[in-house]
Structure 1
């Protein structure tokens, strides 16, 4: 079997959790920033505990938002494991016995 085909199968079978950051360009005419309907004053930050994102509004009214908790980083959940979520917190556990932790590697 070719290495490329093996890589495709592994990619299909593995579970992966990804997060991202976003950046909104400066808006010189704006009075602060808006994230999901929430106004953020210039120079302030806001944590969205429902979506697990944290946003900051720069002095130029640019905005940067990044995931935290289970939305932070990029990692793979090993076979036989499961992600337990509690709000934005998480724990990777054995799928059959949630009292046993699984080890995962953060990719990015």
Structure 2
């Protein structure tokens, strides 16, 4: 890894990761728990969920539970691993384009 590469990674880890880590910290500490308790968990927007079938992360049982909170979700499976855009960029772009046309 070059010094330039290292500095880019370091900058990403020190700055870009902070908001994500703060979310976990606040969740663990139950910050905002009282405020969030009364929020409707249902997402009332069109959702496109794409997943690679070669990995076992998003199982059918998890998606079945999720469907009760996401009534307008479209799930598209691809014969890929975790990095869908790297493995099938044209198919992914086509799926996104078709989905956008459908919801507009």
TM-score by length of 2: 0.22
More helix by share: 2
User: Which structure has greater strand proportion?
Assistant: 1
With the length of structure 1 as denominator, give the TM-score of the two structures: 0.22
